Structure 1
Amino acid sequence: MRSWLPLVRALRGRGVAALLASSLLLGLALGTVTRPLCCRAQSGVEAAEAVTPAQLLQEAYQLSEQAETIDQYDQVIAMCEAASDAPLSPKLAEYAQKLLSWSYNRRGEMNAHDGNSQRAFADFDAAVALNPQRWQAWHNRGVSHALGGDYQAAIDDLTKSIELQPQYGNAYFNRAELLYELGEFQRAVGDYDKAIELNPADAAALNSRGHAYYRLGDLHRAVADYDRAIELEANDAATYVNRGDAYILMGRFARAANDFNRALQLDPQLARAYQSAAWLKATCPDSRFRNEAGALELARKAQQLAGEQDYRYLDTLAAAHANAGRFDDAVKVQYEVIQLVPEDQADRFKERLALYQAGQPYRLGGGEHVATQPRRLPQAR
């Protein structure tokens, strides 16, 4: 996922300042309020200071222009809430609510950046409630939903953000990522299309659309997207692995091997690169690309770097054992694979187990490349 909106002042609307100035000039503020304790001057004097709501909101706005910490946004929010407790003209009340919504959203971004996900979600939720037209808050709450695992709620929020601001490409990208995770690859392609239309140099969107085409079986389009992504970001090792995986399915084994080698040169710590290279060396139907010792070494390195019991990595290790004639080891590892694999995918792994039990290695055929269907790396946008 691309994360919450960047903390940049470009998102702050000039209309906010104009509205405040207009309200003040027209004398629309009524009564006085007590400045919140957290916002009083640090002079040792704790006496309450009476100010008009308009003055307090003006100070809140001025502070918001310079705010860079959560504490400063706390102050802006406290000032807005204190002003809102006083009788306000309709225009000033509307402005106070919008500034408060904006401030909650900004504080949510900072909480998210600091890893305070629950506080961030609460802030984004408050921002949406205060101003349902704030598309940034809808987007940010959608990202929070996604990171919390509630994909449908995330899609709903991102859809609302897109309705309010159809020119923000990251919202299309993030919705596409969620659709991809839900297996709705064709719909994901549509959103990736829009993200790329809005930003043709978005290498991550091209890479992700390539994944969706890969899963749809449209390998030529997948490779075309990977090609373009590599043109834009030539040092992204993961994209070379993705293209290499597609080349395996196309039977272009030499190109696949070259891509895996390039990925390993660029990132010697990328577990997927070792896994894909091991898979090719262990299972390729063309003996020129198989290598018993090399496959085992690469498969073990992949598992070591991954630091987890992922069935894909274990499946590759089992295939490498079988390719080297170590069928007892292959059977043992493949049993582990079957314990970990999702139940609806278990049949093909059981078929490989039967091969190893019969003393036969697994060879790629029929367009199958199970071990490394592109596993996409998390995005942070």
Structure 2
Amino acid sequence: MGGGDMLRRLKVLFHYSKADAALRRGKFDRAVDDLSKVIQAAPDNTAAYHDRGVARQGMGNYRGSIDDFNAAIAIDPRMMMTYSSRGISWKLLGDFERAASDQAKASALSPRFASAHAELGVVYLCKHDLDNAVRSLTTAISLAPNEPNHLKQRGFAFFCQGNFKAAIVDLQQAYDIANDAYALLFLHLARVKTNANASAALETDASQLRTWHWPSAVVGLFLERLSADATIAAAGTPDELAEVQFYLGQWHLIHGDRAEARKALQAAIQACPPWFTEHTAALAELQRLD
């Protein structure tokens, strides 16, 4: 190996290690800079294109990430992870047909790749194709039985279907594994729908909640410790302000005010991006109200 090749390889390893550390810390802009240097030194490095796409995805640059994933696929069309990552970008752009196609391609290339089956299920959930959402997520769970996000997503799909007892089983398991506040909120709502002793169960589960940041304020709302106005005030970002409308709609339903519930659910549909679970669940709830 010549001296030039050795220097090039050392440069690739140096910048890749820096990029990897930046990705793990969520410093996506730094990761993009270092991965660009890797690609400059090694233009056929498929992993560098893929990882730069992931970093750009983390920055919200979904079109740029797709360009990188396309470049990786052009070099290695059998790299299944790249299709799945590109599918996530398509989902976040609201192009659910392309997202589903990419996740199906990743699943076909690697049938035991649980995350691709799960992401395909999530795309079906976004499309309100609930039967296929449950089917794909069930496959993912069969491959990775203790992955909490797969259980949580199937619990969401069961909730939207109106299969609340099945939702309770999945969401309880997801919450027990990951202490996820969103799983806890939908678990409570599913219990309410089945006329279970929902308030007492929420008290018990909420006592185990380890991270009291958003959406923990909504837990306080359902425990009657926060008012609706205080819960809205606790929402600190546009996404949180969008989500809170769905939970306010559920809160109004619990209190028997169907008119206010309908208003809040309609506001959630208007405010939430279509890939938010609260968007799909608000649509499902309005259908039940109708």
Interval of TM-score (by shorter of Structure 1 and Structure 2): 0.7 to 0.9
Contact 2:232 2:241 in 1 (8 A): no
Q: CA separation of 1:307/1:121 partners in 2, compared to 1, >3 Å: closer, same or farther?
A: same
2:251 and 2:261 in contact (8 A); partners too: no
Q: For the residues of structure 1 that align with 2:21 and 2:248, how far apart are their CA atoms?
A: 47
How big is the shift at 1:230? 1.1
Shift of 1:198: 0.8
Once the two structures are superposed, what CA deviation does each residue of 1:253-304 show, in whole Å capped at 9, x if it has no partner?
1111122233344x1633333232122234x2x42x3522223444x458x4
Pairing 1:268-307 to 2, within 5 Å after superposition: 269-282=179-192, 284=193, 286-287=194-195, 289-298=196-205, 300-301=206-207, 304-307=209-212
Shift in Å at residue 149 of structure 1? 3.2
**Aligned residues: CA RMSD:** 3.8
Provide the residue aligned with 2:21 in structure 1: 114
Higher relative contact order (CA 8 A, sep 6+): 1
Task: Give me the whole-angstrom Cα distance separating, in 1, the residues matched to 2:51 and 2:118.
Answer: 23
Aligned residue pairs: how many? 265
2:179/2:210 contact within 8 Å kept: yes
Supply the distance in 1 between the matched residues of 2:261 and 2:220 (Cα, whole angstroms). Answer: 15
Partner of 2:143: 232
Q: Compute the TM-score of the two structures, normalised by the length of structure 1.
A: 0.58
- Asked if the contact 1:108–1:123 (Cα under 8 Å) also holds between the matched residues in 2, the reply is yes
Gaps of 5+ in 2: 280-290
Structure with the higher fraction of residues in helix conformation: 2
Aligned-partner Cα distance in 1 for 2:207–2:49: 42
Which one has the largest radius of gyration? 1
CA contact (8 A) 1:139 1:157 kept: yes
Contact 2:158 2:164 in 1 (8 A): yes
Amino acid aligned to 1:167: R
Match of 1:309 among 214, 221, 225: 214
Distance 2:35 2:152 in 1: 37
User: 2 CA distance for matches of 1:259 and 1:350?
Assistant: 20
Please give the secondary structure, in 1, of the residue aligned with 2:166. Answer: helix
1:143 is displaced (CA, Å) by 2.3
TM-score computed with the length of structure 2 as normaliser: 0.74
Which residue of structure 2 lines up, in the alignment, with residue 335 of structure 1?
232
Q: Which residue of 2 aligns with 1:178?
A: 89
Write the deviation string for residues 193-218 of structure 1: whole angstroms up to 9, x where unpaired: 11111110011111111111111101
CA distance 1:281–1:203, shift in 2 (3 Å): same
Shift of 1:349: 4.8
Structure 1 letter corresponding to 2:214: Q
> Residue 249 of structure 2 aligns with which residue?
352
1:202-281 to 2 correspondences below 5 Å:
202-265=113-176, 267=177, 269-281=179-191
Mapped contact 2:148–2:178 kept (Cα < 8 A): no
| Superposition deviation, residue 245 in structure 1 | 1.4
Structure 1 counterpart SS, 2:22: coil
Task: Return closer, same or farther for 1:314/1:187 CA change in 2, 3 Å cut-off.
Answer: farther
Distance 2:244 2:58 in 1: 31
* Structure-2 separation of matches of 1:177 and 1:242: 15
Structure 1 unmatched runs, 5+: 1-19, 21-53, 61-76, 78-99, 376-381
- Once the 2 structures are TM-superposed, how far is the Cα of residue 341 of structure 1 from its aligned partner? 4.8
CA contact (8 A) 2:19 2:34 kept: no
